[in-house]
């Protein structure tokens, strides 16, 4: 499945880019940054709500913020269906997962490239997806980190050995060039921003990934 990151969308023509995602992708990927957990600020509820008002595909919000628990309920109210937070941003990840579920959303735990993926293992049975970052969270348009393949394989093996249905989402530097290798490594959902919206033909870029 393909999730398109709206971070690289044209914010002066957001409706057009939302229509594009409705037609060509499987999810809207919404990157929420607070300037504290990551050194960048993206956008917040007014943008999420505007996209939700026209979205025909589920909203997958990726929280790159401290104290994610404070925003879970509002994300659900804004129309988000899948919500991920960074493992090291939460004091009690299990509580955040429970809160996400209590608000009717699918829960995901995210890890940056410097966090051992084994730290995700305890959460695999209780969340619907994990988000393996293939760049350091904070900015679109970064170069894919090649060691991500092995990290995805490690998590895929653990999901299989525990007989679980948790999905693997991969985010950062993804394009038609590495999509096949990512799928072989075990990825279920690929997030792409700049590879889609900065392409001369965005529909072709999604098609290349598929
Ligand atoms: C990075 C974000 C990504 C980003 C991906 O912090 O989590 O979702 O938008 O952008 P590209 O596809 O350009 O690497
Ligand atoms: Zn993201």
CB-based burial, 121-148: b 16+ in 10 Å, e otherwise: eebbeebbbbbbbbbebbbbeeebbeeb
Average pLDDT in the chain: 98
What is the pLDDT confidence band of residue 210, given thresholds at 50, 70 and 90?
very high
Total of domains in the chain = 1
| Mean pLDDT confidence for 68-72 | 98
For the domain that residue 186 is a member of, what is the CATH number?
3.20.20.70
Rounded distance from Cα 189 to ligand 2 centre (Å): 12
107-114 long-range contacts, CB within 8 A, separation 24+: 107/83, 108/82, 108/83, 108/84, 108/169, 109/84, 109/85, 110/62, 110/64, 110/84, 110/85, 110/86, 110/137, 110/171, 111/86, 111/87, 112/86, 112/88, 112/136, 112/137, 113/145, 113/147, 113/148, 113/151
What tens digit of pLDDT does each residue of 3-45 get? 999 999 999 999 999 999 999 999 999 999 999 999 999 999 9
Structural domain including 35 reads 2-209
| Antiparallel, parallel or unpaired: β 2-5 and 167-171 | unpaired
d(CA 73, CA 70): 8
What tens digit of pLDDT does each residue of 79-100 get? 999 999 999 999 999 999 999 9
Percent of the chain residues topping a pLDDT of 90: 100
Q: What is the pLDDT of residue 122?
A: 98
Q: What is the pLDDT of residue 204?
A: 98
Q: Ligand 1: residues whose CB is within 6 Å?
A: 5, 7-8, 29, 31, 62, 135, 137-142, 171-174, 191-195
Q: Using the structure block, give the residue that is written with the tokens 């589920």.
A: 58
Active site residue 31: yes
**Torsion-angle region of 163 (φ positive above 0: left; ψ -120 to 50: alpha; else: beta):** left
Active site residue 201: no
Rounded distance from Cα 172 to ligand 1 centre (Å): 5
What tens digit of pLDDT does each residue of 161-197 get? 999 999 999 999 999 999 999 999 999 999 999 999 9
Residue of 17, 31, 34, 60 with catalytic role: 31
């Amino acid at each position: 499945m393909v999730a398109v990151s709206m971070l690289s969308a044209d914010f002066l023509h957001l409706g057009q880019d939302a229509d594009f995602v409705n037609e060509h992708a499987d999810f809207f990927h919404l990157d929420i940054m607070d300037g504290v957990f990551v050194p960048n600020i993206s956008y917040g509820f007014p943008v999420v709500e505007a996209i939700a008002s026209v979205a025909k595909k589920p909203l997958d919000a990726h929280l790159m913020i401290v104290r994610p628990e404070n925003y879970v309920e509002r994300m659900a109210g804004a129309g988000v269906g899948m919500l991920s937070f960074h493992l090291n941003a939460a004091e009690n990840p299990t509580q955040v997962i429970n809160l996400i579920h209590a608000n009717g959303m699918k829960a995901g735990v995210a890890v940056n490239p410097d966090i051992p993926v084994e730290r995700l293992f305890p959460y695999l049975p209780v969340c619907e997806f994990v988000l393996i970052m293939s760049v350091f969270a904070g900015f679109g348009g970064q170069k894919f980190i090649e060691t991500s393949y092995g990290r995805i394989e490690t998590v895929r093996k653990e999901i299989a050995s525990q007989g679980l249905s948790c999905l693997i989402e991969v985010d950062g530097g993804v394009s038609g060039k590495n999509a096949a290798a990512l799928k072989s490594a075990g990825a279920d959902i690929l997030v792409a921003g700049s590879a889609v919206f900065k392409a001369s033909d965005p529909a072709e870029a999604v098609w290349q990934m598929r």
